[in-house]
Amino acid sequence: MASSKGNIFQAPRGTRDFFPTEMAMRRYIEACWRDASIQFGFQEIDGPTYEHLDLYTVKSGPGIVSELFSFKRSGGETEYALRPEFTPTLARMAVARGNALPVPTKWFSMPCLFRAERPQRGRLREHFQWNVDILGLSNADTDAELISVAIAGLEKLGLDPSMVQVKYSHRDVVAKLLSGLGVTDDHLPAAFDLLDKRDKMPADVFTEKASELGLDSTAVERFDQLAHATTQPGAHPSTLGELDPDDLEQLVAIHEALVHHGITDWCHVDLGIVRGLAYYTGTVFEIHETSGAERAIAGGGRYDHLVELFGGPATPACGFGMGDVVLSLVLQDRGLLDTESLLPRPDAFVVCADDGAADQMVPVLARLRQRGLHARRSYKSTRNMGKLLKEAGQHRSRCAVILGREFQDGIVIVKDLDAGEQHDVPLTELESTVIRLLKTS
């Protein structure tokens, strides 16, 4: 039966089914994220899948409602929305703790997020995201530590500076440079928005919109140069060009902090990075694949007034989000997701080669599992040893435990499938033999 609005027996548009292989890939990515977070001293948190709708309109205005999956309970009046991002939830949780928050507060989360928008490559209506935030500190070293965590996660996944780069900037630096071009304070938000979308529009459209900021042709040309001003990986901000060193003070501070963290080869200045969201207040960054084939892998920065906006005390903060969709595409394109190796590999696979031992398969399986071993069994009725061992191999089992005629004498055959060796083993020594083989393989 098909619905008039689509096939109800297919996953909703913009969502994903996670079969064992896909689930293994997701858990692998999440494990690398979690390991990097814990390595840097962050603690894991989570919140509700949906929040009051007003939590999002307070930060982003009523225009965001069209981008959300919002709803009311049947017969109810309160409006809710599936969470499109985690930062408002984090700010709400910080407000709930108030002055009891330790300084610094270092939290991470891996929520499922939802956006009611048109699905396209690298952007779905539902995805998982790694969020990392530091609250209570306001300095370049904190910003650099945050970037270091993101890099550590990517490095654990096999990526390196030749594959991905952190593009960083500072909104105060960009604002000062824009003001020098003649952009007035009331036009700064539009100028930031234009910079944020610079790579998503033709050059003539960019020029037209830059002219609408009240700039003359010379200033428009300089604005375009500013939008594409970058350094080489690891280079000092002073190499940006003919800019007053005093205007680059914050960028120099970030660069020096990155040097201390040993990650400059992963990073370079890009003045076109401003992050369109208005709540960013200082350092901003995005992480991109060097080929430029995909959307940003991650983005973040400093948001020193958001907790206060949500009713809490003045709390400096910075954070980033890294989605799994674009990251998975990059890892697959780079050949860094060996899906077969990510699936759990059984320690032992129990097969029955003799009808007389068939009723002992489950007890033998239980013995292995009770010792903490990952054990599976064949459900096939065949007693053909070749087919049974082939099945064990298809499961990538380390050992095959064969119940044959010898079982009547309390003997099982343990075959090391990696080494190709097999051993006749008393049933009483089965578990210790498998454990020994695992240690030597």
Could you read off the pLDDT of 90-105 as tens digits, one per residue? 999 999 998 889 999 9
How many domains is the chain partitioned into structurally? 2
* Residues 366 and 218 grouped into a single domain: no
For 309, residues 6+ apart whose C-beta sits below 8 A from its C-beta are 58, 59, 91, 279
115 located within any domain: yes
Helix (H) or strand (E) holding 300: strand 298-302
* Residues 313 and 362 grouped into a single domain: no
Domain containing residue 118: CATH number: 3.30.930.10
* Residues 307 and 370 grouped into a single domain: no
Domain finish residue from 290, 316, 339? 339
* Residues 249 and 278 grouped into a single domain: yes
pLDDT at 230 over 80: yes
* Residues 289 and 424 grouped into a single domain: no
* Residues 47 and 150 grouped into a single domain: yes
Q: How confident is the model at residue 60 (pLDDT cuts 50, 70, 90)?
A: confident
Q: How confident is the model at residue 1 (pLDDT cuts 50, 70, 90)?
A: very low
* Residues 202 and 335 grouped into a single domain: yes
pLDDT of residue 57: 87
pLDDT of residue 62: 77
* Residues 294 and 382 grouped into a single domain: no
Cis peptide before 104 (omega within 30 of 0): yes
Contact 24, 343 (CB under 8 A): yes
pLDDT at 257 over 60: yes
- Report the C-alpha gap between 370 and 348 in whole angstroms: 13
pLDDT of residue 203: 85
What does each C-alpha distance from 111 to 25, 127, 302, 320, 324 come to in angstroms? 16, 8, 20, 13, 11
Q: Which domain holds residue 116?
A: 20-339
pLDDT of residue 158: 97
* Residues 122 and 199 grouped into a single domain: yes
Domain containing residue 351: CATH number: 3.40.50.800
Selection from 90, 71, 89 nearest residue 81 by Cα? 71
- Report the C-alpha gap between 25 and 329 in whole angstroms: 11
Of the ranges 27-36, 142-151, 220-229, which one carries the lowest mean pLDDT score? 220-229
Alpha helices in 98-187 (DSSP H): 140-156, 171-181
Could you read off the pLDDT of 349-399 as tens digits, one per residue? 999 999 999 999 999 999 999 999 999 999 999 999 999 999 999 999 999
What does each C-alpha distance from 176 to 188, 246, 276, 386 come to in angstroms? 10, 10, 17, 74
104 located within any domain: yes
